[in-house]
Structure 1
């Protein structure tokens, strides 16, 4: 394990984001970039947080702010994204799950509260099934519960239909960092939640040199992982969890549309065991703002503290 950077901070109004360390952790085929926001108490519980299909570890910065050092938060750039973008395959949800076991072992984290957003929630669920001894709690955030995929779409059409601009940008180039921010600021889901926090997460995705900057996300990794989410092993994981979990779901969708990924009717249709998976709406959030927006991140932090056995306090 190598430490590559530390003490990164971001400003929003008069509030500083908590400092984090950046580590390199050995995994199959190379090293995984991992962000760590240390707890103020050396014995604090650990949360391992997994991002979405075209995101990176800085997705969790706002949640780290509201956790306020009461736990240690560890958030990798998943294989094929961010500063783990050059890691080769194999890709797929099971490969990510095994990477998470490697992270826990390399960093000596012991049992962790596992959480994931979007695709990260599917990884978290499968990690729990494949490596049940790793976790002490599980929180799924707007993901982890699958629905049948349309059979008339090609894999790329299906991914574009689901994640929209996040998929299309993978084949685009940008002349400078400002234009990349402008691209995302026009995204309907970020119009009301844009901030320097979000911009830092967006900028971490860029690689290359001006005037041909591009996303760090590998198209092969995104395609493989996206298709894998609909496979039997992954979609069944939420029904086979070794411990109770909670699913927080956003009121609105990926483009801030009124229909979110989940609603009461959709969740009822998949037959979740209410003793195994409790579900809870986070009002006023969309698929992205449930983690990068202030209200959503506060709600996620509260539930993570509860999962870690800590008193829920205002964050």
Structure 2
């Protein structure tokens, strides 16, 4: 699987954090003073899920996409896990890049997909409060519909499906990995896309005939419980120091309708009072909102508006 021609090759970097080094991908800006954009992936993802978005932003922005603690090249970082640990790691990354939230400073925008939206919101409302100018949430960051009595592990299994199942599997060769993902109702149509192939490759560790996901299962369990049940996490968007945009997909994790959000649920969340603007990205699901032409256009437009500190048109 080669690097696609339409994606700038990022630099592999590391940032000192509690317990070791956080791995990240870095796309440089073409000129000094460009906005700093930090892209935060979801619960079993990695930095390269943002490949298409980063390709559009690179050059005009300084772009950093970390592998969160317990994922991909950051799999070796120890616990404790949890979204507050990820928020602290993000804050360390922002400080490493000289982020400054003062009105006259170069703009800094946090962007989070799925669980990454909760992490970005928690950091913006807390430890990175004085470092961020704008926040973009991509199909995440606001509470999901979770029955109060539901078992958290059962909810995670239902929510993640085969994305969680793969963590306990071993693959003898790369074609077996591709075959596994080809059966996923939302990811399957994308496995032949070069940028998505890079994302799937980054998830792997080991060697043939024992390839497996680098994701630490315990990290997913702890982080998932925070995402579904932790009140401080779920309420982070009620105390943001900056305006935020939520971009939500019409379809869900497996391409189902409704998706994680819909107009009825969002109408009852008090988003206006929280200064969160919600926009649907039509004909996308939870994954393709980062990969389709309209999804990438929506995300990059929201990022540029946040960096310019202007409303999204």
Match of 1:210 among 208, 211, 217: 208
Count the aligned residue pairs. 302
* 2:219 aligned partner: 221
Q: How far off its partner does 1:275 sit?
A: 5.7
In structure 1, stretches of 5+ residues that fail to align are: 1-8
TM-score (norm 2): 0.92
What is the distance in 2 between the residues matched to 1:80 and 1:90? 10
Q: How far off its partner does 1:259 sit?
A: 1.2
Q: How far off its partner does 1:294 sit?
A: 3.1
**Alignment of structure 1 residues 50-61 onto 2, 5 Å:** 50-61=40-51
CA RMSD of aligned residues (A): 1.9
CA change 1:182–1:65 in 2 (3 A) is: same
Match of 1:137 among 125, 131, 134: 134
8 Å CA contact 2:205–2:211 kept in 1: the answer is: yes
* 2:285 aligned partner: 286
What is the distance in 2 between the residues matched to 1:294 and 1:217? 28
Q: How far off its partner does 1:184 sit?
A: 1.1
CA change 1:125–1:175 in 2 (3 A) is: same
- Are 1:77 and 2:70 counterparts? no
What is the distance in 1 between the residues matched to 2:100 and 2:212? 37
Match of 1:150 among 123, 127, 147: 147
**Alignment of structure 1 residues 30-179 onto 2, 5 Å:** 30-111=20-101, 112-130=108-126, 131-147=128-144, 149-179=146-176
Q: Which moved more, 1:46-55 or 1:174-183?
A: 174-183
8 Å CA contact 1:147–1:270 kept in 2: the answer is: no
Q: How far off its partner does 1:61 sit?
A: 0.9
* 1:3 aligned partner: none
**Alignment of structure 1 residues 267-286 onto 2, 5 Å:** 267-274=266-273, 276-286=275-285
Q: Which moved more, 1:99-108 or 1:143-152?
A: 143-152
* Runs of 4+ residues over 6 Å off in structure 1: none
In structure 2, stretches of 5+ residues that fail to align are: 102-107
TM-score (norm 1): 0.91
CA displacement, residues 91-133 of structure 1 (integer Å, 9 cap, x when unaligned): 1011100101111112334442011000000001100111211
* 2:230 aligned partner: 231
CA change 1:151–1:205 in 2 (3 A) is: same
**Alignment of structure 1 residues 244-283 onto 2, 5 Å:** 244-274=243-273, 276-283=275-282
What is the distance in 2 between the residues matched to 1:151 and 1:169? 27
CA displacement, residues 254-293 of structure 1 (integer Å, 9 cap, x when unaligned): 0011211000001122232356101000001100011133
